[in-house]
Structures are given as C-alpha cells and as structure tokens.
Structure 1
Amino acid sequence: MAWDTEETDGSTIAAGPVPGTDLSHSIRVPWSILVAFMLLVLLCSRKIRFYLKYHSFAGIYFFFGIICIPIMLFNARDPKSTRIPRLLVRKVQSPLFGITTKMIGLERYPEGPFVIVCNHQSSLDCIGVMELWPPRCVILMKKMLKYAGPFGLGAILAGSIFVDRSNHRSAKDTLSQAVKIIQTKGYRVLIFPEGTRKLPKESSGKIGNSEPLLPFKKGAFNLAILSQVPIVPVVFSSQKHLIDFKEYKFVSGEYTGVVLPPIATKGLTLEDVPDLSDRVRAKMIACFNEMEQTQSR
C-alpha cells in the first residue's frame, strides 16, 4: 500500500511505484526482447521462412472456404459453384505469392464429357488447375479431404467426387457413381492418376521413382472406358525452380501446363486399361521431359 511523505517544499508524493511506469516498463522489456529474438530467428532461418510461406500458401484455402461457402450454397453440388473459388485463386492467391501458370492447348478440349488426367507435383498445382478448369468440371479427390474444414465443405458444394482407396468396395461404388454423373449430366472429371504428389527426386530430397511421374492408378482409365469418353492428358512442367523442399526454397515464378490431344476410348474394354494407362503415361512423360529440356536451355 502506498503512503504519503513530505518533501522539503511541503508537497506530498506517493512513495510507492507509480502506475504505468516501472511495472509497465518491466513488462515491455522482456516482450520486446522476445519479439526481437523471434524476428531475428525468422530472418536468419531459411527453413522457418520456407515453411511459413508454404503453409500460408496452403492455409489460404481455409479462408477461401469461409468466404465461398455462403455463395456456393446457391449452386450446391453443381460445378457452377467453382466460379468464386477459381476467381479467388486467380485474382488473390496467384498474385499474392507470385505463382502463375502459362497454359498451352486449351483449344484441344473436345466437346461433351471427358476425363482429364494430370500430373501432380505440389500444392502449386492448384494455380494451374484453376487455369485449365473447363466448364462443367468436377474433381475426384481423396475422401479424407472431405473432412478438411471449410476446404472440404467447399469441395462438397463444388460437386467433387470423393474416393476411399483403402476400401475396394467403396472405391468401386465411387467409380459407378462417377460413370453415372458423366453419362447423365455430361460432366468432365479431373483426376490425378498418380494418386499423390511427386516432385522430382533432386528437388524433394526423397528417395523414390527416378521417373518424373509415378506409376498411374487405373481408376481414371476405368472411368473413361466405362463411360466411353476421351482421356485428355494435361502435363505441368517441373516446379523445381519454384519450390525445393531440400533447399527450403519457395520463390515466385511461372510454370507451364500443356493440354495434349484427346485419346479416344470408344470400343475399348476394361481389358485395354493397362495398355491405355501405359500409353497415356508415356506421352505425358515425353511431354514433361521435352519441357524440362526447353526450360534448362
């Protein structure tokens, strides 16, 4: 408790700590030191800066979901509802992080329904996907993403098809559902046939297949043949000049996407799936390698 004392001139002063001076100063100093230390670590640690930027790039979909969901409810489960998230990716995420995609061959898309198969390298693919996205298109994705908060709800409202690859019966039911959607609604379906992301080995630092594309899963080709619609391969060029998990590099720049000529499936049966898958994969690898050589010149 403060008490009064008299100075020589007779004035009265408080002999205790003055509010807002010593106490606030004692709090500000350690907090200032902590903030300065954190900023120093952030500026000095390339790894921390890399992961902050990378997770910010991916985490922005949480906020996009919050913005888009109320609007997407007006066209629930309809590909039309993808317009707003596509606009946000192209007008906000792409310029904010300086990542752009140059698309070549969009005029090759055929009329009517078809199945797009696309290589998958990193989260940066989403920029290119929004550029290649044709009208009346839905995406087939892993079931676990259905529960990814606002992103998952947005994907549901966009009419995405979710597949549980760990459950053969469920995956078969999903395939039948996708065939029905193509045949009755004339939708296009986008699939990543590798099933997971595959950055070049020298970029990711992971030991794995030395080829630029992982072996393809057969779902996309089963779907195209059962629906008797064309396969349209799309190849994204290497992103190793933009993102490198081994060197902790994430910089602005551009990569290329190429739409290859459609491959007809009319008259084919499920027995032709392995050959069709191999042919499509070979064409995509050849295109990827050609772009890699052009990029290195």
Structure 2
Amino acid sequence: MPSSSSSSNSSSTKKTAGAAESKLPSTSTPSNGAQRALPLSSGISSGESGKGNLNPTTTETTTNVPASSASVPLPSRTSSNSSTSSSSRSRPPLVEGTPVLKRSGATTVVGILVGLAAIALVSMPASPLSLSLSRQSSLGLGTLAIPLLLSNFKMFGRVRYYTRLTFFLLGLATCSAWGVVVSVVMALLGRASDVNYVVGRSFHALVAPLVGVKFTVEGEEHLKQTKPAVVIGNHQTMIDILYIGRIFPKGTSIMAKKELKWTPLLGQFMTLSNAVFVNRSKRTDAVAMLAKVAQTMREKVLSLFIFVEGTRSASPVPSMLSFKKGPFHLAVAAQLPIVPVVCENYAAVYSARRKRFDGGELVIRVLPPISTEGITSSSEDINALVEKTRSAMLEAIEDLGRRRAELNRLKGVFGKNETGRITIS
C-alpha cells in the first residue's frame, strides 16, 4: 500500500531577507494510531459509496485494531496537490468476498427472447394455458411476468430490486393482515404467546422464496433450550424481518418503537400479539415500562426479542452500532439470560442505497446464553454486561464475514461487476 506521505513530497518555502528554509509538516498517520482496515466481507468494495463509506483515498485512525483480523488495509489520506495517476483514478478492485456470476451478452439476449416467447404463449388466445383463462387474465399474467423475467438478469438490477422489494412489502402487508386474524383466533384458543411464532414463520415461508433469500441457522438449540429469555439481535435493514421470521421461537413477543403502533395493519397485528412499545424519547416512561415487562415475563414465562442497536445500521461491512442499555436492564430486572443472535452482513444481497436486491444464502448464528444471575442494576454491572455481550456478537459477525470471504475466494471468480448470488456450502 502506498504511504500517506513521503520525504519526496515535502516542500520548502523561501523567506525574504535571508530567512531560513522551513519544511512543511508531514501528513503521515500519528505513531500511536493505526490505519483502519476494511474487513473481508460479503460484497463490499473499498470504493462503494453510502453510509459507512470507506473510499480509497480516505483512512481513519483508531487505536485498537486486532492484529489477527483478516482485513485489507486501505490507502492513507493524502493532502498532496500533485496530479493523480490514472491507476489511482480508476475504480479500485473488489475486496475478496464479492462473488460475481458471469453471464455473456448472448446468453442474456437468448434468455430474454425465450422468456418473452413464453409470455406470448401465455397470452395467445389459442394456447392451452390461456384456454382456461379469460383474455384479460392471460394478458395480465403476461404483463406481470415481464418484470419477473427481467429481474433474473444482472443488466436489469434495478428491475430486480423494485420487483423483489414489491414482493417483500406485499408479503409484509399480507402477513400483517393475516396476523390480525391469527391473533384473535389464538387468543380464543389460549395460545396468544405463539402468535408471533406462527406469523413470523409464515412470513418467512411466503416471502423468502420470492426474494431469493435462504437462511442457514447455527446454534438454534440455544433458542429452544433457553426459556424465558431476552433475545437480542443485530439490526441492518428492514429485511431483518426475514431472519427474525426464520428463527423466531415460540412463547416470544417483540419490543418495538412506539411509532410502529400506528402503522396500518402492522401496528394492529403487533398490538394484538402483545408487542411491547417503548417511547424512546421519554426515558422515565421507558424505565417504568421495562419494570412492568420484567414482571410479566417472569409470571407468564414469556421471552422478548429486541433489536439491541435500537435502529438500522445499514453498514456495508460486518459491524454494529453501539448497544442500547434497555434490554440489559430488563434482563437484569427479570434475572433472565440474554440470548444473542447475529445475522451475517448482507450488503451484497440487499442495499437500498445501491438499489440492489440479489438472492443468496445467509447465515444466522445463535450464541450461547449469557447469564444475568447475581448481576445488579448498577452502572458498572450493566456496562460490563453490555461490553461482554457486544464483544461476543461483534466477534461472531466478523467471523462470519471472514468465513464468507474465504468461501467466496475458494469458490468464485472476482471482477468489476458487483451483481451475483452469494452461496455457502
């Protein structure tokens, strides 16, 4: 990697009246710092823009960079006004971990022609399929099939993004409406605590195949064997609802921000499913609510799922935001274990900023429960518990990122294109 400065780049300024020459100060990184490295992650290039962007001409300094972490260091920041070489202006190569599926232009054209021929066959009045449908229905199916066809080709990445996003949102609305009905029925059957389990699994079963996402779960036994508990997970984007639906255990409710209570369909479903709504703007109200929830969890043997970061990180690299302390106060007050859940970084599968929604297989890792027995609500104990939990989750998500990069390195072909499926064996 090129250095951020060199002796050849330093300049001198001549003073009048015989003043001595003075050298401009060096722009090198301080000796007590270390270059921030970009972890090997799925689908992240050093030149991507967006939240948490790390571009090839920018380096941040930090004091704690693990030496054992598998990473690719970025070039240092330079303040030199010298002309930039053509190679530095060109787009940097992808970091290992971005899989690419190559598809020739001829293959794409042939695929489109075959797909359009199939659509025409559906719409033809004399075709066997359309004989059982009205003319309007046949044309409607043919029209709806066009974006589905185009979404399979990388040259139509935006079509794929909006098509799959539409399926996701329609599935969310459908399952929310379905959840309202299920909530009433299961309440009558005395199984109100399993509403989220039924609706979550239904959402995953319906939507995951439509958007081309599949999950592999590691350590799922920790969720089944630890009840009740405070289950916490990382929060990347709204697509996290899919991974929640895949692992959501029985006898579990969810904690959410109060604003979601007024969301059409979703808010009604969450209310009927005994979701805990927290007013994040009023700390006193939140503390009182947590005390009440802790008592309810003990009495009804009820677990609670919480996004521990409090908001979406949308990080392009395997990382997490700082943790909210509410879940830890709740676990300590109820003297219940904490079960951390981590979904690997999926910026190469979904990115709203880059209008990307590719299919792929993602890994969810459920970590062993962390006991709160004997821990008090003092600031020292809570801070220590937060740090212990966050370290375990951060280590897990970074490990998944390194493993993904290595699998892709062994398996795939890397290039300038960024579209392709992520798979894991």
Does TM-score exceed 0.5, indicating one fold? yes
1:70 to 181, 194, 198: 181
Tell me how far 1:123 sits from its aligned partner: 2.0
1:86 to 174, 190, 200: 200
Aligned to 2:308: 193
Query: TM-score normalized by structure 1?
Result: 0.78
Aligned to 2:165: 54
Q: Which moved more, 1:218-227 or 1:69-78?
A: 69-78
Tell me how far 1:171 sits from its aligned partner: 0.9
Distance verdict in 2 for CA 1:167–1:51, change over 3 Å: farther
Q: Secondary structure at the match of 2:184?
A: helix
- The answer as to whether partners of 1:100 and 1:127 remain within 8 angstroms in 2 is no
Higher helix share: 1
Amino acid at match of 2:179: C
Identity value in percent: 27
Distance verdict in 2 for CA 1:170–1:59, change over 3 Å: farther
Gaps of 5+ in 2: 1-142, 407-425
Q: Does 1:108 align with 2:222?
A: yes
Tell me how far 1:85 sits from its aligned partner: 1.5
Aligned to 1:128: 243
- The answer as to whether partners of 1:179 and 1:223 remain within 8 angstroms in 2 is yes
Gaps of 5+ in 1: 1-34, 203-210
2:297 to 174, 178, 182: 182
Q: Does 1:227 align with 2:334?
A: yes
Instruction: State how far apart, in whole Å, the 2-side matches of 1:245 and 1:262 are.
Output: 33
What whole-Å deviation, never above 9, does each CA across 1:108-161 have from its counterpart, x for those lacking one?
234431111110111221121122212211110111111111111111111111
Instruction: State how far apart, in whole Å, the 2-side matches of 1:130 and 1:46 are.
Output: 26
Distance verdict in 2 for CA 1:55–1:123, change over 3 Å: farther
Tell me how far 1:243 sits from its aligned partner: 0.9
Q: Secondary structure at the match of 2:386?
A: helix
Q: Does 1:253 align with 2:368?
A: no
Would you say how many aligned residue pairs link Structure 1 and Structure 2?
Answer: 251
Instruction: State how far apart, in whole Å, the 2-side matches of 1:235 and 1:99 are.
Output: 16
Distance verdict in 2 for CA 1:291–1:97, change over 3 Å: same
Q: Does 1:139 align with 2:254?
A: yes
Aligned to 2:73: none
Instruction: State how far apart, in whole Å, the 2-side matches of 1:293 and 1:227 are.
Output: 36
Tell me how far 1:245 sits from its aligned partner: 2.9
Amino acid at match of 1:282: S
Q: Does 1:95 align with 2:209?
A: yes
Tell me how far 1:169 sits from its aligned partner: 2.4
Instruction: State how far apart, in whole Å, the 2-side matches of 1:83 and 1:218 are.
Output: 26
Amino acid at match of 1:92: L
Aligned to 1:21: none
- The answer as to whether partners of 2:201 and 2:248 remain within 8 angstroms in 1 is no
Instruction: State how far apart, in whole Å, the 1-side matches of 2:338 and 2:346 are.
Output: 24
Instruction: State how far apart, in whole Å, the 1-side matches of 2:403 and 2:182 are.
Output: 42
Amino acid at match of 1:165: R
Aligned to 2:102: none
